[in-house]
Chains A and B, each alone.
Chain A
Amino acid sequence: MALARPRVADFRERAAEEVSRWAALRATVGRKPLGIASAGLIAVLVLTALFAEALAPYDPLAAQPEIRLAPPSWAHPFGTDDIGRDVLSRIIYGSRISLWVGLLAVGIGTFAGMIVGLASGYCEGRVDLVLQRVMDAVQAIPGLILALAIVSVLTPSTTNAMLAIAVVIIPGNSRIVRGAVLSAKQNRYVEAAQAIGCRHPRIVASHILPNVTAPILIIASIWLGNAILIEASLSFLGLGTQPPTPSWGLMLSSTGRAFMEQAPWLAIFPGLAISLAVLGFNLFGDTLRDAWDPRLRRDG
C-alpha cells in the first residue's frame, strides 16, 4: 500500500500534465496565426510525401527530351528540366526524401542525445565530465563540415547523409537533456523515490524522463527544419542523395544552377519547397516553445 500511493499520485500528476500540455499547445496555435500556418505547412508536406503517387501528374524519372527546359505551363506548372522531366512531379517525390531524412536523422540523433544526456545528468561526476568533453569535441566542428567529413568517408548517399546529420544533432540534444535531468533531480519526489529504494532505471524512466519530454520535443521540432536544410546542402554539394533520385537540394545544384539564366524555374521551385518546409518546422518549433516554455510566454 505504501508503494501504491505515490504511484497513483504520480500517474494523476502526469496525466494532468499531458492534458495541460496539449491544451497549452492548442491555445497557442489558436492564438497565434503563425502557429496555424506552420501546422498547415507541415500537414501539406506530410500529405504530399504520403500520397506522392496520386498527386504527381507525371513519372518523376520519365524523360521527354522533346520538351526539355519548357517554361511553366498548364501541362507542366513548374516547367520541365534539361531532359524534359516534370519539375512539379520531381518536387512532389522529393518531399519524401526530405521528410524521410529529416525524421530519421532527428529520431536517431534525438534518441542518442537523450541517452547521453540522461547518463550525463543522472550519473554526474566522471561519467558526466567525460561524456560532455566528448560532446564538446564533436560540437567544436561546425555541423555542416562534420556532416561533409562523415559523408566523404562513408561515400555519398541518402542514408549516409542521414547518419551524418544524426551525429551532428547528438551533442546539442544531449546538453539540453542533461540540463533538464539535472533540474528534475532536484525534485523532492526523486529524492523520495531514492529514499524508498527505487532502482535507478525506474527512477529515470518514471520520474526523470517525463520531465525531459517537453524540451526534447521542442528541440526535435526545431532540428527537423535544420536536418532538411543540411540534407539539401549536402545534396547541393553533391554529397547527399545521388541522381536520378529527386531530391530538392540536388535538383537545385544539378540543373538549377547549370541552366539558371535560361530556365530560372529550375532553381526557383526546389528552393521554394526547401524554404517552405524548413519555415514550417521552424515556426512550429517556436509555437511549441511558446506553449510549453513558460519563461518565453508573454503572459506567463
Chain B
Amino acid sequence: MYKYILRRLLLAVPVLVLSSLIVFGLMRVMPGDALTALMAESGNVSEKDLAKLRRDLGLDRPYYEQYGIWVWQMVSLNPGYSIFTNEPIAEALGKAIPVTVELAVLALIFGLVIAIPIGVLSATRQDTASDYAGRLVATSGLSLPDFWLGTLVITFAAIWFGWIPRLGYVSLWESPARNLQQFVLPAAVLGFRLSAATMRMTRSTVLEVLREDYVRTAWAKGLGERIIIYKHALKNALIPVVTLVGGQLGTLLAGTVIVETIFALPGMGRLTVEAILFRDYPVVQTNVMLVAGALVGLNLLVDLTYAWLDPRIRYQ
C-alpha cells in the first residue's frame, strides 16, 4: 500500500506543475498585459503610475521569474494582493473557502441522499413505471441548468410563498439556524444536479451486480430480497459509485460558481467570477490553481480509498 501511495503522489506532482503552467500561461497570453487592459477600461491613469504598478506587481520581470515568484507565493500560502481591492488574496480566500466548502458538503450529502435510494429502486424495478420515473428525474437533473433551477426556485418561492431568502451571509458559528436557512436552497439545487449521474451509476452497477453468480446463490439459498439487495449487492455496487462521486467533485466546484452567483453567497465561485469580470488576474490565477490543486488532492484521496476498499487495484 505504501508503494502505491508513493507512486500516486509522484504522479500527482507533474499534473500540478503542468496545471500551474497552463494557468500561468493563460494569464499571460492576454493581448498586452493584464494591467494595460485594466487601465484602458478605467482611463485616467498616467504612464508613470502604470509603470510603477507594473513594477510593484512584478510584471516587468521575465516570465520564468514571475512564474517562480508565483509558485513560491502559492507554496508559502501568501499569494499576493488583489489589484482591485488591494486586499491580501489569502484573507479574501480565508473568508470565501468556508462558504464554498459548506455549500459543497451540504450539496454532496443532499445529492447522495436522493441518488442512492432512487438508483437502487430503479435497478430493482427495471423497466417498470418507477424505473422510468427515476431515470426521468436523473436525466432531467443532468439537463436542467442549475442557473435556471436556482432562478426558478427563488422566483416561485417569492411568488407563491412570499418568501425571499435573506441576502447577506451569516456564518454557521454566528447563527446556525439562519446559516442553514441560507444554504438549504442552494445546496438542494446543486445537489439535485449531482444526484443525476450518481443515480444513473448506482442503477447500472446494482443491475450489473444483481446478475452476478453470488447474488444468484443468495437467491438460491432463499434469502429475502431486502437482505440480498442491501447486504450483498449494494456493498459491491457502491465501489464504482465512490469513484464517480470523486470524479464529480469538479462538477461540484464548477456548480458552486453558478449557485453562489445566483444566491449571493460570498464563496470562492463568486470571488472568481467577480475577479474574471474585473480582470483581477492575481485573484483569478490563484483561485483557478487552488481549485485544480484541491481537485487533484481530492481525487488522490478517492483513488487511495478505492485501493483500500479493493486491494486488486494496488497490484495493477
Distance in angstroms from B245 CB to nearest chain A CB is: 15
Q: Is A256 at the interface (CB under 8 A from chain B)? A: yes
- B26: chain A residues within 8 A (beta carbon): 149-150, 153
Would B253 and A274 count as touching, CB distance under 8 A? no
Given A145-B272, A252-B148, A264-B159, verify A152-B284 contact (CB < 8 Å). Answer: yes
| Cα A144 to Cα B145 with chains together (Å) | 13
Which of B63-71, B81-89, B216-224, B287-295 has 4 or more CB atoms under 8 Å from chain A?
B287-295
Q: Are the C-beta atoms of A267 and B148 separated by less than 8 Å?
A: yes
Given contacts A137-B18, A149-B284, A229-B145, contact A271 B151 (CB under 8 A): yes
A66 proximal to B (CB < 8 A):
no
Q: Please indicate the chain A residues that have their CB under 8 angstroms from the CB of B156 in the complex.
A: 264
**Distance, CA A143 to CA B250, complexed state (A):** 8
Contacts of B144 in A (CB 8 A): 271, 275
> Within B286-307, which residues are at the interface with A (CB < 8 Å)?
288, 291-292, 295-296
| Contacting pair A137 B22 (CB below 8 A) | yes
Q: Does B154 contact A (CB under 8 A)?
A: yes
A48 CB within 8 Å of chain B: no
Contact call A283/B295, Cβ cutoff below 8 A: no
Contact A142 B148, CB 8 Å, known A133-B15, A136-B15, A279-B139: no
Q: How far is the CA of A145 from the CA of B296 in the complex (A)?
A: 15
Give bound CA distance, A257 to B147, whole Å. Answer: 10
Kindly provide the distance from the CB of B254 to the nearest chain A CB, expressed in whole angstroms. 4
Cβ-defined contact, B148 with A274, below 8 A: yes
Instruction: Decide if the interface of chain A is mainly helix, strand, loop or mixed.
Output: helix
- B15 with A137: CB separation less than 8 A: yes
Within 8 A of A (CB), among B93-149: 126, 139-140, 142-145, 147-148
Proximity bits, A260-280, B CB within 8 Å = 1, else 0: 110010011011001110110
**Contact between B254 and A134 (Cβ–Cβ < 8 Å)?**
no
A260 touches B151 (CB 8 A): yes
Q: A140 and B148: CB pair below 8 A?
A: no
Chain A residue contacts of B276, Cβ below 8 A: 148-149, 151-152, 239
Asked if B158 contacts A261 (CB within 8 A), the reply is yes
Q: Are B27 and A153 in contact (CB under 8 A)?
A: yes
Closest to B269 in A: A145
* Interface status of A236 (Cβ within 8 A of chain B): yes
Knowing A140-B295, A141-B23, A271-B148, say if A282 contacts B143 (CB, 8 Å).
yes
Given contacts A137-B15, A229-B145, A252-B148, contact A144 B254 (CB under 8 A): yes
- Given A148-B276, A152-B279, check contact A142 B295 (CB 8 Å): yes
For the complex of A and B, the 9 pairs showing the least CB-CB separation, nearest first, are A271-B148, A137-B18, A144-B254, A279-B143, A142-B250, A142-B254, A152-B276, A278-B143, A260-B155
A140-B292, A153-B26, A275-B143 given; 8 more Cβ-contact pairs under 8 Å: A140-B295, A145-B254, A145-B257, A152-B279, A225-B143, A252-B151, A278-B142, A286-B139
User: 22 A-B residue contacts at CB 8 Å?
Assistant: A137-B15, A137-B17, A137-B21, A140-B295, A142-B250, A142-B291, A142-B295, A149-B276, A149-B284, A149-B288, A152-B277, A152-B279, A229-B145, A238-B277, A249-B147, A252-B151, A260-B155, A260-B158, A271-B151, A274-B148, A276-B143, A298-B126
What residues of chain A have their CB less than 8 Å away from a CB belonging to chain B? Answer: 133-134, 136-146, 148-153, 225, 229, 232-233, 236-239, 249, 252-253, 256-257, 260-261, 264, 267-268, 270-271, 274-276, 278-279, 282-283, 286, 296, 298
